[in-house]
Amino acid sequence: MFFPSGVPWPIYFILTPVEIISFLARPFSLSMRLFLNMMAGHMVLKIFAGFCVMMVSLGGLMSLTSIVPFAVKFAVTGFEFGVAFLQAYIFTVFTCLYLRDAIYLHGHDDH
């Protein structure tokens, strides 16, 4: 079931846990990749939003200089949209690959 064709049967004892861990780790690694990329983007946006609020609350000339972090926040938001589309594409491709591997296991040439 989990074994590539041509593997000697004594190797099955080593290969079985490795293949089971591999199949279980794939969804975990995919979800962690998506979660960490989303969290990093949100943290960057939160930091620049904090800069904007802090500079505006200081008043005077600092209120005027808050335009720079606001512009950076605006640019990072656009960048985050691009990253979101890229992550959606990667998530879809990896999901399709993992599903294909789950349906057509090793050694089957009918796919």
pLDDT in tens, the chain (111 residues): 567 778 888 888 888 888 889 888 888 988 898 889 889 988 988 988 888 888 888 888 877 887 888 888 889 899 989 988 998 898 899 889 888 877 886 555 554
Exposed e or buried b per residue across 89-111, where buried means at least 16 C-beta atoms within 10 angstroms of its C-beta? eeeeebeeeeeeeeeeeeeeeee
Token pair, residue 6, equals: 């041509």
Prediction pTM value: 0.63
